[in-house]
Amino acid sequence: MSGNAPLNIDAGQVASLRSIGEEMDALASRIEIGEPRAPSLTLRTKIGFSIKHRLNRFLWWQSYQIKTLAALTARRGGEEIKVIDALLQQVQQAAHGLSEGLRQIHQTVDGLSQSIGRLGQQMRETHHIVFECRQQVRESESRLQQLGTENASFRTEFGAEVRRENATSLEKIGELAQRVEQMAARLSELGLLTHQTKATLSIQDRRLAGFIEEARKRLPNPFTSEQLNDMVNHHTHSRYDSLYVAFEDAFRGTREDIKGRQSIYLPMLKEHGIGCSAVPVLDLGCGRGEWLELLGEHNLQARGLDSNETMIELCKAAGLEVTLGNALSYLGTLPDACTGAITSFHMVEHMPFDTVLALIDEALRVLKPGGILILETPNPENILVGTYTFHFDPTHLKPLPSPMLRFFVEARGFCHVEVRDLHPYPETVRVPDDGKGVASRLNDSLYGPQDYAVIAQKP
């Protein structure tokens, strides 16, 4: 039995004690009252009853009541003793459980005392270790402070020396980089000049060989005036080819720049499946061959045409498929629907407008159905282009406004004609926004797209 279990008292014993108590209370009241009085009719009867009553009260009646009361008291005492015995038994059981609980508590307390003792020993050992560690930390801090002072002094001296050496090295590196750039520019110029010289020498060699061959055929007869005029006219027509190549190199931009600009047309060609052997690309006025080289890098078949002998020689040296000739005349030799795309970058502004119209007509004839025409040219809507940069090239005739060129391309039979603005000036040169729209209009007029392309499709 646990120490905190409640005491259990028999309900029957409690009821018995309550019943005995009620009888004792009734008997006590009757002792005071005595036997009930009978109704009296005469004085004699009353006197006799009174005497009897008093005798019964002092003798038999009172003794009976006392015996009854004593018996009840004894019964009640017995019941109370039973109850008390039961309570004592429960108390003993509770005391035994409490004793057992206390014994367990003592055992637990003893175990806790032992654990606390061990923990105290460990804490004393830990405290000793912490004390030693703190001492070592203080010694380390002192050493670190000393090293920091020495390091600061060293860093100050070393940093000053390094800065001096770095400044000297940077100055030398800057001078060396400048010299390298100068040498690279010079080597580039020399390489370009070498290519141009080789091309010019090759052209001159072919001209001289042709002249000698023609002279051998006519020996001993002399050249006629007509033959001499033809040779002079041919030489006059192509004598500035090498000079124009040098001009292009100076103002057109690097090959990588041009290829980067022209790469925007690649997705369109691939989307229409143009560039295989069945639908190749023909580039009119191929120049130095940047577009042909870019197409080859993407496994698209193309060939080029140009009237500049030096540029044709440069393209052939690069392994490109090119032909020397006039664009309109060359198109006239091609059969109908034989090519997938005709491209022309900055060529139509060099041609009279009736030749441009004839070129558009011939392009429509030789393109396959669904073929693409791309005509890229300077944008005169840009004031700086129309009044200044367009005239850098002395072979330019006149600028072509985009609405006009688009109209004639569409009027001659092409469909899906669009104008794509290209190559605006960089943001760094634009006028800051004034919030009134004036700066925006000025930027559009001066620093907008420098070129545009008319892109069309054959029905």
Task: Output the DSSP codes for 293-304.
Answer: HHHHHTT--EEE
The helix/strand/coil state of 104 is helix
Contacts of 330 (CB under 8 A, 6+ apart): 284, 305, 323
Tokens of 120: 């105290």
Q: Which helix (H) or strand (E) holds 416?
A: strand 415-424
Q: Is the pLDDT of residue 201 over 60?
A: no
- Report the candidate in 257, 282, 293, 456 with the shortest Cα–Cα distance to residue 374: 456
pLDDT at position 2: 45
**Separation CA 293–CA 321 (nearest Å):** 10
pLDDT at 10: 62
CA distance 315 to 313: 5
- pLDDT above 70 coverage of the chain, percent: 71
Each residue of 275-306: pLDDT tens digit?
999 999 999 999 999 999 999 999 999 999 99
Whole-number pLDDT of residue 435: 84
- How many residues does this entry show for the chain? 459
Range with the poorest average pLDDT among 67-81, 184-198, 278-292: 184-198
Q: Decide if pLDDT at 19 tops 70.
A: yes
Q: 81 or 322: which carries more pLDDT confidence?
A: 322
> DSSP strand E in 307-384: where?
322-324, 339-345, 367-378
What pLDDT score does 223 carry? 58
DSSP state, 279?
S
From the list 260, 242, 297, 258, the residue with the least C-alpha distance to 275 is 297
User: 262 falls in which pLDDT band (50, 70, 90)?
Assistant: very high
Task: Indicate the range of 7-11, 234-238, 365-369 predicted with least confidence.
Answer: 234-238
pLDDT at 32: 46
Per the listing, tokens 């072509």 go with 400
Contact present, 242 and 270 (Cβ < 8 Å): no
Handedness of CA 118, 121, 125, 127 (dihedral sign): positive
Q: What does the alpha-carbon distance between residue 446 and residue 430 come to, in Å, rounded to a whole number?
A: 9
DSSP state of 274: -
pLDDT tier at 206, thresholds 50, 70, 90: low
- pLDDT for residue 34: 47
Does pLDDT of 82 surpass 80?
no
Task: Check pLDDT > 80 for residue 249.
Answer: no
Per-residue confidence (pLDDT) for residue 95, from 0 to 100: 77
Measuring CA to CA, how many Å separate 240 from each of 47, 196, 273, 344?
A: 183, 12, 39, 22
C-alpha distances (whole Å) from 334 to each of 69, 325, 365 are 153, 13, 9
Q: How confident is the model at residue 452 (pLDDT cuts 50, 70, 90)?
A: very high
Q: How large is the average pLDDT for residues 372-387?
A: 96
Both structure tokens of 206 = 């072919």
Q: Which two tokens stand for residue 245?
A: 């190549």
Question: Which whole number is the average pLDDT over 410-414?
Answer: 96
Nearest alpha-carbon partner for 349 in 394, 305, 314:
394
pLDDT score, position 236: 47
Lowest mean pLDDT among 146-150, 254-258, 345-349, 447-451: 146-150
Please report the sign of the dihedral spanned by the C-alpha atoms of residue 87, residue 88, residue 92, residue 98: positive
| Overall average pLDDT of the 85-101 stretch | 78
CA distance 21 to 156: 110
- Give the mean pLDDT of the chain: 80
Compute the distance between CA of residue 248 and CA of residue 254 in angstroms, rounded to an integer: 9
pLDDT at 108: 80
- Say what the pLDDT of residue 101 is: 78
Measured CA angle at 221 (ends 220, 225), to 5 deg: 145
Distance CA 77, CA 440 (A): 120
For the chain, the domains span 252-457
Q: Give the model's pLDDT for residue 212.
A: 61
Residue 367's beta-bridge partner residues? Answer: 339
Burial (0-12, 13-18, 19+ Cβ within 10 Å), 164: exposed
Whether residue 3 has pLDDT greater than 50: no
Q: Which pLDDT tens digit goes with each residue over 138-148? A: 887 777 788 77
Residue 235 scores a pLDDT above 60: no
Lowest average pLDDT, out of 186-190, 233-237, 266-270, 309-313, goes to 233-237
Question: Distance between CA 231 and CA 235 in Å, rounded?
Answer: 6
- Pick among 3.20.20.70, 3.90.25.10, 3.30.1330.40, 3.40.50.150: CATH of 252-457: 3.40.50.150
Q: What local confidence, expressed as pLDDT, does residue 447 receive?
A: 94
Residue type, 272: H
pLDDT grade, residue 64 (50/70/90)?
Answer: low
Tell me the average pLDDT across 99-105.
Answer: 81
Q: What token pair was written down for 329?
A: 């005349």
Average of per-residue pLDDT across 305-330:
93
φ, ψ of residue 283 to 5 degrees: the values are -105, 115
The band of 37, judged by pLDDT with boundaries at 50, 70 and 90, is low
Q: Work out the average pLDDT over 216-235.
A: 58
HSE-CB at 127 with a 13 A cutoff on CA atoms is 6
